[in-house]
Amino acid sequence: MNFSEFEKNISVDFSDRALLKQAFTHRSYINENRKTNLEHNERLEFLGDAVLELIVTAHLYEKYPDYNEGEMTSLRSALVNANTMAEAANKIKMNDFMLLSRGEAKDTGRARQYILANAIEALIGAIFLDQGYKVAEKFVGENLFPLLPKIIKEGFWLDAKSHFQEKAQEIAGITPSYETLKEIGPDHDKHFTIGVFLGKEKVAEGEGKSKQDAEQAAASAGLKAKNWN
């Protein structure tokens, strides 16, 4: 794969190209190509997650002085959730460079979006190791922060669960319930898929690195599905 093309797209010139390639290497690829000398991207993702959290937290603290701790926490969660991260990854065409097993390569649905969300975190970790904090901060600023105005305008990040429950009781006369549909990943990197239900009707699903984040994401998706914005 021509990773120099990707470097040009994101305006980052890696000194250690192996780090860049590792960021795109999913565990399934390693399992299917056991003779490869490549490493999967999970350690980079772990690092990138921490770097991303610091960059986003510092940005919100500086740019939104009127927001309290709870509001900043909710907004940060909305910005770094799986859906938003996958959106950012797709915009820079990360999907074109992913190293996946044949089975994973065929799955272009929700699982792929989760893989992309993790991969962009790994990429942030790789940029931090290779280029330092300032370049990682610039990358996040160019590729994630432009999504903030849309998130703030939609307003679902404030507390989508409360909003959805209020609407559900008002319009449908039902209190929504939440059910864990899927739980994957090691203990240090769990990923949850949760469904929001009105009675037996599954209204929507949401994903997150905690059950709380996934429930908020499901409620946000439910508001859109029901046009209860």
Q: Is the dihedral of CA 160, 161, 166, 169 positive or negative?
A: positive
Instruction: Please check whether residue 38 is in contact with residue 29, taking contact to mean a CB–CB distance below 8 angstroms.
Output: yes
Q: What percent of the chain has pLDDT over 70?
A: 98
First-residue to last-residue Cα distance in the chain: 43
List the domains of the chain with CATH numbers: 16-157 (1.10.1520.10), 159-225 (3.30.160.20)
Residues with a known catalytic role: 49, 121
Predicted local distance difference test score (pLDDT) of residue 36? 86
What tens digit of pLDDT does each residue of 179-227 get?
A: 999 999 887 778 899 999 999 999 999 998 889 888 988 998 898 899 8
Say yes or no to pLDDT of 24 above 90. yes
What tens digit of pLDDT does each residue of 145-164 get?
A: 999 998 888 776 777 888 89
Instruction: Please check whether residue 72 is in contact with residue 57, taking contact to mean a CB–CB distance below 8 angstroms.
Output: yes
What tens digit of pLDDT does each residue of 72-121 get?
A: 888 898 899 888 999 999 999 999 999 998 888 887 777 788 899 999 99
For 180, the token pair is: 């864990």
Q: Which helix (H) or strand (E) holds 180?
A: strand 177-184
Q: Are strands 191-198 and 201-208 parallel, antiparallel or unpaired?
A: antiparallel
Say yes or no to pLDDT of 176 above 70. yes
What backbone torsions phi and psi does residue 193 show, to the nearest 5 degrees?
Answer: -115, 125
Q: Which of 214, 160, 149 is nearest to 182 (CA)?
A: 214
Exposure class string for 104-127: b at 16+ Cβ within 10 A, else e: beeeeeeebbbbbbbbbbbbbbbb
What tens digit of pLDDT does each residue of 3-20 get?
A: 999 999 999 999 999 999
Predicted local distance difference test score (pLDDT) of residue 156? 62
Say yes or no to pLDDT of 228 above 90. no
Say yes or no to pLDDT of 50 above 80. yes
